[in-house]
Amino acid sequence: MEVGFARVAVTPEKPVFLAGLSRNRVSRGVHDDLYVRAVVLCDNGRTVALVGVDSIGLMYDYLKRVEGKLLKRGVALLVGSSHDHSSPDVIGLWGPSSEETGVDDEYLDYLLESMLEAVEEALSEVSRVTLEVGYSRLPPGVAKNTRDPGFIDFDAPYMVFRRGSEVLGLLVNFGLHPEVLWSDNRLVTADFVHYMLGSIEAELGGVAIFLNGALGGMVTPNVESHTYEEAERIGTTIASSIIGAVRNARVEYEAFGQLKLARKKIALPVVNEKLIQAVERGVIRRRVLEPSSVETEVNLLEIGPFVQLVTLPGEPLPKVGFKAKSLMNKRYRFLVGLGNDEIGYIIDLEDWNPQNYEESMSLGPLTAGILLSAIAELASASH
């Protein structure tokens, strides 16, 4: 397989409304840079760009602007937002009031152009590599589920790309909210992801990419305080587990790569009146179709005979994540949340409770079932 990596900073250069936690939280400086990190996979005339971005969540309508340009070059785009709660508001919900959007159009344009730049740079760096795939585990003491205690997907599958003995890059996938820093924080930061990816890059080399997983419900960092020290502890602890797994791995199977991508467009019903009203007020800039629905997609990427990667367009709760993985039929299974979209929480129908916070930030009770059916269809067709 031929692969190229790139990393482009997307740190805002002026104060912005920070996403998540509370409204009207304006940044007062920068603790660490935000990045777009991209890897392009090229095989048998097919090219797929996997992109991880330090962002609360890029919506489908925005990403179509980038993908439209890439498709002209024959490149399919799969984006996973980290769901960083100390990054600029690119959704609109965390502006000065419930009536005013928090989106800075200038920053959003800059972010999307930087994403395109990262993919194009990665394309210019393509070389033949060996891909190693394996599993790590989230170590004890870094994650908890405050909605359903103990119910977490602890698997952290990874891919390592080597050119000879040189590591060009690594991709890791697990579910955890980047929200160690809390509402009192006014500095731009990638949260624990900054420390995790920095540690991996320092130890193994290359560009490290994080794609978040089944983080809903709420799968949140298990911290004693909302400090940068705790963000560093969470990030470096996870990094050490991944680095150890990579270094101690042994080869079980060998295969020549083959790349396949299947995509299904979906219209999801919207029963959340608050979302519809936010769109009508211009707080959220997203098309809501008639009858009330939004357009999105799911993707199934296959790499060789052993790897499948599925995207879900929001924040799946762990139960939804487990169900999605059960529909895949390869040994190594990557589940990417906030994949090419951010529609809010994706909650299993049997767990739906209108009194809970997550339901208030969801499209409705039918979302999970529709998305899982789409994944089943794509997985069945891949046999």
Residue ranges per domain, the chain? 260-381
Q: Are 51 and 118 in contact (CB under 8 A)?
A: yes
Continuous segment of H or E residues that includes residue 184: none
Burial 146-156 (b: 16+ CB within 10 A, else e): ebeeeebbebb
Query: Is the predicted pLDDT of residue 242 greater than 70, yes or no?
Result: yes
Residue with tokens 């009536």: 99
Within 13 Å and on the Cβ side, how many CA atoms surround 367? 32
What is the identity of the amino acid at 111? L
CA gap 374, 383 in Å, rounded: 15
Distance of alpha carbon 78 from alpha carbon 143, whole angstroms: 26
| Strands 187-188 and 29-30, bridge-based pairing | parallel
DSSP 8-state assignment for residue 86: T
pLDDT score at 82: 98
Q: Which pLDDT value is given to residue 176?
A: 98
Give the HSE-up count for residue 107: Cα atoms under 13 Å, Cβ half-sphere.
22
| Residues β-bridged to residue 261 | 301
Q: Provide the pLDDT for residue 47.
A: 97
Sign of CA pseudo-dihedral 134, 77, 370, 61: positive
| HSE-up of residue 176 (Cα within 13 Å, Cβ side) | 29
Q: Is 62 helix (H, G, I), strand (E, B) or coil?
A: helix
CA–CA separation, 238 and 309 (whole Å) = 21
pTM assigned to the model: 0.97
Name the E strands within 85-178: 127-128, 130-137, 143-145, 155-163, 166-174
The C-alpha atoms of residue 80 and residue 162 are separated, in whole angstroms, by: 22
Which pLDDT belongs to residue 258? 87
Answer whether residue 257 shows pLDDT above 80: no
Model confidence band, residue 383 (pLDDT cutoffs 50, 70, 90): low
Above pLDDT 90, what percent of the chain?
95
